[in-house]
């Protein structure tokens, strides 16, 4: 709508204003809460050694890969949104809510469900349920694309289900990535963000342009990346079960 009302430059103006507002809110409302005695050294040698320890940890890498591949299955549609909506589904430029509405609603539902399940079932079981939901969504997506032509609302329904499962599994997978580094969780979290952002960049440059030619190829891409995410999560679980001496 900003583009329709004020031109394409207004989108970037909005990004600048919203970023400045978020920065100001964080500065004023989120003070440092970690006691000084628990803060980590900023010496380059210490930071370099710690980054190396984190980025060469197999459990961390497997958990990060699972999160990145799972998100990649949805990110295909984010990056392909103009082609998916306007070319394949015939939606006007003001109709992007058809994609992002169900997707964000799914994330909210998954996050809420994850919070309700926390403490009631194990994180591993939560991840398993999340993958079952995502797998059902990917299979549903493939079936729809094989049986029906692209159209609304059925072409976006699997995305809602997928993001629900993705958001359900993500908190537990993130904890799996950070748990091996209880004293450096902030640093590990930054490494996880770097890992996921790097994969998103690869997806944007190489994977998504090869898939957005048809809704079926996009559905296959979702299923393929989800399969890789499931494999990474399985490898993480097997690594966690190794005896301490073998790990």
pLDDT, tens only, 47-83: 899 999 999 999 999 999 999 999 999 999 999 999 9
Is 51:191 a contact under the CB 8 Å cutoff?
yes
Model confidence at 244, pLDDT cuts 50, 70, 90, reads: low
Say if 189 falls within a structural domain: yes
User: What predicted TM-score, i.e. pTM, was given to this entire model?
Assistant: 0.89
What pLDDT was estimated at residue 189? 93
Model confidence at 99, pLDDT cuts 50, 70, 90, reads: very high
Sign, Cα dihedral of 161, 166, 171, 173: positive
What pLDDT was estimated at residue 243? 59
C-alpha–C-alpha distance, residues 81 and 44, integer Å: 41
Say if 135 falls within a structural domain: yes
What tokens does 10 get?
């207004």
Say if 17 falls within a structural domain: no
What tokens does 24 get?
């100001």
* Most confident of the ranges 32-36, 118-122, 127-131: 127-131
What pLDDT was estimated at residue 241? 74
Write the CB contacts of 91 (distance below 8 Å, at least 6 apart in sequence).
85, 98, 152
What pLDDT was estimated at residue 239? 86
Mean pLDDT of 85-103: 94
Residue with tokens 């998916």: 84
- Please report which residue ranges of 57-122 form alpha helices under DSSP H: 58-79, 81, 97-117
What pLDDT was estimated at residue 93? 86
Say if 75 falls within a structural domain: yes
Over pLDDT 90: what percentage of the chain? Answer: 79
Which of these ranges, 103-112, 132-141, 157-166, 232-241, has the smallest mean pLDDT? 232-241
- Write the CATH number for 133: 1.20.1250.20
pLDDT of residue 246 exceeding 60? no
What pLDDT was estimated at residue 143? 97
C-alpha–C-alpha distance, residues 28 and 8, integer Å: 31
Say if 23 falls within a structural domain: no
What tokens does 246 get?
């073998």
- Domain span at residue 165 reads 58-240
The number of distinct structural domains making up the chain is 1
Say if 15 falls within a structural domain: no
What pLDDT was estimated at residue 23? 94
Mean pLDDT of 207-236: 96
Q: What is the CA radius of gyration of the chain?
A: 20
Say if 66 falls within a structural domain: yes
Average pLDDT, the chain: 92
Say if 145 falls within a structural domain: yes
Sign, Cα dihedral of 120, 125, 129, 130: positive
For residues 41 and 181, the model is more confident at 181
């Amino acid at each position: 709508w900003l583009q329709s009302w004020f031109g394409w430059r207004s989108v970037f103006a909005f990004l600048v204003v919203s970023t400045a507002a978020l920065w100001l809110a964080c500065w004023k409302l989120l003070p440092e809460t970690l006691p000084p005695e628990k803060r980590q050294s900023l010496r380059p040698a210490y930071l370099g050694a710690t980054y190396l320890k984190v980025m060469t940890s197999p459990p961390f890498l497997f958990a990060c890969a699972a999160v990145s591949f799972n998100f990649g299955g949805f990110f295909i549609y984010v990056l392909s949104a103009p082609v998916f909506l306007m070319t394949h589904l015939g939606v006007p430029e003001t109709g992007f809510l058809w994609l992002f509405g169900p997707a964000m609603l799914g994330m909210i539902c998954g996050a809420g469900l994850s919070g309700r399940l926390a403490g009631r079932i194990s994180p591993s079981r939560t991840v398993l349920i999340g993958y079952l939901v995502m797998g059902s969504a990917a299979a549903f997506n493939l079936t729809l694309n094989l049986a029906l032509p692209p159209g609304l609302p059925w072409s976006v329904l699997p995305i809602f289900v997928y993001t629900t499962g993705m958001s359900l599994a993500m908190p537990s997978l993130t904890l799996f990535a950070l748990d091996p580094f209880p004293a450096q969780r902030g640093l590990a979290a930054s490494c996880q963000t770097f890992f996921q952002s790097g994969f998103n960049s690869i997806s944007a440059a190489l994977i998504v342009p090869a898939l957005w030619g048809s809704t079926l190829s996009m559905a296959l891409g979702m299923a393929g990346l989800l399969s890789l995410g499931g494999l990474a999560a399985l490898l993480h679980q097997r690594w966690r079960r190794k005896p301490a001496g073998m790990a």
